[in-house]
Amino acid sequence: ALGLLVEMASVHVDLSTIAYSAAVSACEKDGQWATALALLVEMAFVSVELDTITYNAAASACEKGGQWAKALGLLVQMALASVE
């Protein structure tokens, strides 16, 4: 999923929330919590909306990686952004 995301960007395809969420979910399944968080930062940088699925996948990746504080931080960030 990450490779596809990079390939899509390289051919100037507009990346959507769905594409990013798929990549974050792949990070979750592969235990790559830091990459999942980096994707969230990138989404904000390129003005792609973060949704519940994206936040939950990233929080789950952090939880699986033992990064409880980061997971809780994402849930707080989600609430502050009024994401439902």
Q: CB atoms < 10 A from the CB of 15, how many?
A: 16
pLDDT given at position 4? 59
pLDDT given at position 16? 82
Q: What is the pLDDT of residues 55-76, one digit of tens each?
A: 999 999 999 999 999 999 999 9
Q: What is the pLDDT of residues 6-16, one digit of tens each?
A: 665 665 556 78
In terms of pLDDT, which residue wins out, 14 or 79?
Answer: 79
62 with 71: CB under 8 angstroms? yes
Distance CA 31, CA 65 (A): 6
pLDDT given at position 38? 94
